[in-house]
Amino acid sequence: MELQGTVKKITDVQTFASGFQKREMVILTQEQYPQPINIEFLQDKINLLDPLKEGENVKVGINIRGREWVSPQGETKYFNSITGWRVEKVMDNGSEPTQASPSQSAAPVSNENPFAGDDDDDLPF
């Protein structure tokens, strides 16, 4: 899946006692009602955020993950996380898909029937 938006915040790297590392980025989606979406980058993916700055438009490849947790009281809760695995900068405002314009060097399209001069009909019926 992909998300597209403007970088609102990039956090510092968090390193845990186990050696696990993560870094988070919040992007603001570009839709009628913009949403701040928190995306986690884990382990070897944390460096993907190094070249980015707040205010830049990006497209992020994500995975959505879920997990179940049972509290000591026996109550089951469900949690979701969004994990990023790719980031690319978007040069325009990102709200409209970019369409290729027709090339000026393209050959003109002919409306004539290419089979009009064929009197040699090889159909068996």
- pLDDT tens digits, 9-39: 999 999 999 999 999 999 999 889 999 999 9
| End-to-end Cα separation, the chain, in angstroms | 53
Has residue 114 got a pLDDT over 70?
no
Helix residue ranges per DSSP H, 1-125: none
Pairwise CA distance, residues 6 & 18, whole Å: 32
The predicted pLDDT at position 56 comes to 94
- pLDDT tens digits, 73-83: 999 999 999 99
Structure tokens at 32: 């009628």
Q: State if pTM tops 0.85.
A: no
